[in-house]
Amino acid sequence: MPQNPRNQDTYDAVVVGSGAGGGTAVQVLIEKGLKVALLEAGPMLDPRTEFKEHKWPSDYDHRGAEEGGAQYFGKGKPFGFFSTTSGGWQLEGEPYTVGEGSQFQWFRSRILGGRTNHYGRMSFRFAEYDFKPHDKDGLGTNWPISYQDIAPYYDKAEEFIGVCGTQENVASCPDGKFHTAPPPKVHEALIKKACDKLGIICIANRRAIITKALNGRAPCHYCGQCGRGCQTASAYSSAQVQVFPAMKSGRLKIFDLAMVREVLMDGNGKATGILFIDKKTRTEQIIRAKTVILAASACESTRILLNSKTKEFPNGIGNGSGLLGRFLMDTVGFGLSGYVPAMEGMPHYDTDGYGGAHLFMPWWLWDQHKKLDFPRGYHIEIGGGYGMPGVGSYHGAARRYGYGADMKKQIRDGYGAAIAFAGRGEMIPNDHSYCEIDPNVVDRWGIPVLKFHFKWSDHEWRQARHMEKTFADIITTMGGRVSGLSAAQREADGISVPGTIIHEVGGARMGTSAKNSVLNGYCQSHEVKNLFVMDGASFVSNPDKNPTLTINALAWRACDYMAEELRKGNV
Ligand SMILES: Cc1cc2nc3c(=O)[nH]c(=O)nc-3n(C[C@H](O)[C@H](O)[C@H](O)COP(=O)(O)OP(=O)(O)OC[C@H]3O[C@@H](n4cnc5c(N)ncnc54)[C@H](O)[C@@H]3O)c2cc1C
Ligand code: SF4
């Protein structure tokens, strides 16, 4: 039983998690005048100390060499020392398990803003056909909502968080409300030329980065270091763009280092609040609220629901369908790199722009699936160019090129001649991919952990082979040669390890009834009317578009609905 409830207030809403879903919920509900409690398992964020955007490799000891430098390459910090992770594939004291015969990796952040502090900010709308996949090819399940339902919320989300891009009228990737996109870099212009020859659409990237001032945020100053966090908040993070401004209202109370264990119920089918463990005092605490919003990330919200058991809901609250945890999905990933001699020894030019690619390729064969041996599409992300060499770059150069002037010339000539492609494809949900509570393991807070089961089907494998051929075709059309396997290919023989694209969604999908789903089209529990799940758990399918913009839009739409229901006294 709770030992020390520390808060006697009752809130209009308690929001669990401060990432894309929770940050949007906080922003929208505070704008509506509600009193909100935000519970976050990680600490508060201080961008001044956490973000290493303008640090040079020379600012640090070791510069990646020897044992002391190992931290720069992911030891203790995935994606390296400079990345704004505050999390990782494994969190000390917070394990998860994986069923026999499965592979799954779960990337979690523990800090205000969650994974939005360092995500890639690729921001693509789902297409109209993405909401009705079963109608298209008889596979998977339709969403209970359509593109028309969510389109106004894509508009709102894009306008508020700021997304740059261009109007293109491509059916697989609807246009949005964009800031001006920066022009392509030289290697990207060459890639586009090859794509034009191959009939592959190649257009300006769509990233949650602003190129004109917005709500007090400065436009991008093109330092190119987005993966390290953006001190000027020119790149979206929910902490900087949504939570910090909401704090000024005086109606938002943040409980950080608050690890939520379960949703509390009143015995009459209504949620009454949240039980969490205060990490600072290791005591159990309660927050009471009229509505409960879970936005702890898809799998974590699912875990909280599965761990919330009552007499009416012995298998987890809102789980009358028995589908809680089912239809877990990740994005299909495959990568290939190439070396293009035509770009060797070019005069080095200024690669002004934001960090990462300025172009991408949306799925270009959306109306030609009958001719393909796989049912769903993918988009292509680009790597390459003259980014600042990272810590430890060219450590192996002496081994390869010897020493002296010749080594320097080889490095300079080859610099910028390497390119890379990463495919991001749709997975069709299947019965073998799900998560459940592991009955034998608890985390350091005494909370039962998740156990993952996952399987790619032939659909995904065949799609990955198409990616491989396409990337090789682009590289050779540029006059280059395929030079390297992606980590994904090395590790899993041709397809990404499930979970590693970090687009895990599903687990509490939305649908038309309490029999076929956990939530309705407003992310509201069918069975507990004042309970909402506003992260990727609600996804019915996982189109090839990265999920975060859709999480923002769905959360915004759900909050509009929830506030109105609250006003009418329906929840
Ligand atoms: C390196 C990287 C690159 C990515 N690139 C892209 C991209 O380009 N485009 C894209 O769309 N997506 C991308 N993603 C995925 C993107 O980060 C997620 O889709 C998005 O952050 C999900 O938002 P969320 O609110 O559901 O969860 P999160 O952002 O994970 O936030 C969840 C929050 O809940 C908190 N929490 C968890 N459990 C509890 C608990 N029990 N109690 C209290 N609080 C809890 C966490 O601490 C966290 O702060 C990327 C992710 C990574 C890591
Ligand atoms: S390139 Fe722009 S968005 Fe990225 S970190 Fe620098 S200022 Fe921020």
pLDDT band at 312 (very low <50, low <70, confident <90, very high): very high
162: left (phi over 0), alpha (psi -120 to 50) or beta: left
Query: In this predicted structure, what is the pLDDT of residue 175?
Result: 98
Encode burial over 495-528: b for 16+ CB neighbours within 10 A, e otherwise.
bbbbbbbbbbbbbbbbbeebeebbbbbbbbbbbb
Counting from 1 in the atom list of ligand 2, the atom nearest the Cα of 222 is 1
CA of 54 to the centre of ligand 2 (A): 10
CA of 223 to the centre of ligand 2 (A): 5
Is 112 within 8 Å of 50 (Cβ atoms)? no
- The residue with greater pLDDT, 230 or 61, is 230
What is the spatial order of strands in the sheet that 378-384 belongs to?
A: 203-204, 359-361, 378-384, 418-425, 332-339, 481-485
Residue 566 tokens, joined: 């609250």
pLDDT at 1 over 50: no
What does the alpha-carbon distance between residue 138 and residue 140 come to, in Å, rounded to a whole number?
Answer: 7
What does the alpha-carbon distance between residue 8 and residue 287 come to, in Å, rounded to a whole number?
Answer: 8
Q: Whose CA is nearest to atom 33 of ligand 1?
A: 17
Is 456 within 8 Å of 332 (Cβ atoms)? yes
Residue 151 tokens, joined: 């389109």
> What is the pairing mode between strands 448-453 and 434-442?
antiparallel
Does the C-beta of 355 come closer than 6 Å to ligand 2?
yes
pTM: 0.96
Query: In this predicted structure, what is the pLDDT of residue 2?
Result: 46
Does the C-beta of 264 come closer than 6 Å to ligand 2?
no
Query: In this predicted structure, what is the pLDDT of residue 237?
Result: 96
pLDDT band at 87 (very low <50, low <70, confident <90, very high): confident
Q: Whose CA is nearest to atom 6 of ligand 2?
A: 223
CA of 393 to the centre of ligand 2 (A): 22
pLDDT digits (tens, 9 = 90+) for 224-249: 888 888 999 999 999 999 999 999 99
**Residue 433: what are its φ and ψ, rounded to 5°?**
-115, 105
Does the C-beta of 552 come closer than 6 Å to ligand 2?
no
Does the C-beta of 19 come closer than 6 Å to ligand 1?
yes
pLDDT at 273 over 70: yes
What does the alpha-carbon distance between residue 296 and residue 39 come to, in Å, rounded to a whole number?
Answer: 9
The DSSP H or E segment spanning 86 is: none
Mean pLDDT over 2-9 rounds to 58
Query: In this predicted structure, what is the pLDDT of residue 412?
Result: 87
Q: Which of 209, 259, 449, 548 to probe ligand 1 with, by most ligand atoms within 8 A of CB? A: 548
Q: Which of 188-202, 224-238, 441-455, 533-547 has the lowest mean pLDDT?
A: 224-238
Query: In this predicted structure, what is the pLDDT of residue 84?
Result: 63
Share of the chain above pLDDT 70, in %: 92
Mean pLDDT over 198-206 rounds to 98
Closest ligand to the CA of 232: 2
pLDDT at 125 over 80: yes
Q: What value does the mean pLDDT of the chain take?
A: 92
Does the C-beta of 501 come closer than 6 Å to ligand 1?
no
Mean pLDDT over 401-423 rounds to 90
pLDDT band at 462 (very low <50, low <70, confident <90, very high): very high
Does the C-beta of 230 come closer than 6 Å to ligand 2?
yes
Q: Which of 128-137, 241-250, 379-388 has the lowest mean pLDDT?
A: 379-388
Query: In this predicted structure, what is the pLDDT of residue 362?
Result: 98
Neighbour-count burial of 362, counting CB atoms closer than 10 A to its CB (0-12 exposed, 13-18 middle, 19+ buried): buried
Q: Hey, CA dihedral for 145, 148, 152, 155, is it positive or negative?
A: positive
pLDDT band at 257 (very low <50, low <70, confident <90, very high): very high
pLDDT at 502 over 80: yes
Does the C-beta of 224 come closer than 6 Å to ligand 2?
yes
Does the C-beta of 548 come closer than 6 Å to ligand 1?
yes
Q: Whose CA is nearest to atom 3 of ligand 1?
A: 119
Q: Whose CA is nearest to atom 2 of ligand 2?
A: 220
Is 427 within 8 Å of 542 (Cβ atoms)? yes
Counting from 1 in the atom list of ligand 1, the atom nearest the Cα of 549 is 11
Mean pLDDT over 325-333 rounds to 98
pLDDT at 390 over 50: yes
pLDDT digits (tens, 9 = 90+) for 507-520: 999 999 999 999 99
Does the C-beta of 42 come closer than 6 Å to ligand 1?
yes
CA of 115 to the centre of ligand 1 (A): 4
Closest ligand to the CA of 51: 2
CA of 301 to the centre of ligand 1 (A): 12
Does the C-beta of 122 come closer than 6 Å to ligand 1?
yes
430: left (phi over 0), alpha (psi -120 to 50) or beta: beta
Nearest alpha-carbon partner for 208 in 356, 87, 86, 334: 356
Q: Which of 48-57, 142-151, 279-288 has the lowest mean pLDDT?
A: 48-57
- The residue with greater pLDDT, 462 or 51, is 462
Query: In this predicted structure, what is the pLDDT of residue 225?
Result: 85
